[in-house]
Amino acid sequence: MKTPVYIAVALVAAAAGFGIYHFAVAPKAQQEPPAVAAEAAPETTAAIPDVLPDFTLNDIDNQPRSIRSWEGKSMIVNFWATWCAPCRREIPLLKKVQADHGAEGFQIVGVAVDFREDVLKYAKDIGIDYPVLIGEQEGLDAVNKFGQGSLGFPFTVFTDNQQRIVMFHLGEIRPEQVEVFLGTVRKVNSGELTIAAARTVAAEQLQKLAPPAE
pLDDT on residue 147: 83
pLDDT on residue 150: 63
pLDDT on residue 7: 32
pLDDT (tens, 9 = 90+) of the chain, 214 residues, equals 454 444 344 434 433 333 333 443 333 333 333 222 222 233 333 578 999 999 999 999 999 999 999 999 999 999 999 999 999 999 999 999 999 999 999 999 999 999 999 999 999 999 999 999 999 999 999 999 998 666 789 999 999 999 999 999 999 999 999 999 999 999 999 999 999 999 999 999 999 987 776 6
24-31 long-range contacts, CB within 8 A, separation 24+: 24/48, 24/50, 24/165, 24/168, 24/199, 25/196, 25/199, 26/199, 26/200, 26/203, 30/200, 30/203, 30/204, 30/207, 31/203
Closest CA to 132 of 152, 150, 112: 112
Whole-prediction pTM:
0.81
- DSSP result, 90-103: HHHHHHHHHHHHGG
Burial profile 49-71: b = 16 or more Cβ within 10 angstroms, e = fewer: eeebbebebebbeeeebebeebe
Q: Across 56-214, where does the E strand assignment appear? A: 56-59, 64-66, 74-80, 106-113, 132-135, 155-159, 165-170
Assign domain 3-40+48-208 one CATH number from 1.10.3720.10, 3.40.30.10, 3.30.565.10, 2.60.120.380.
3.40.30.10
Residue spans per domain, the chain: 3-40+48-208
Local structure of 65: helix, strand or coil:
strand
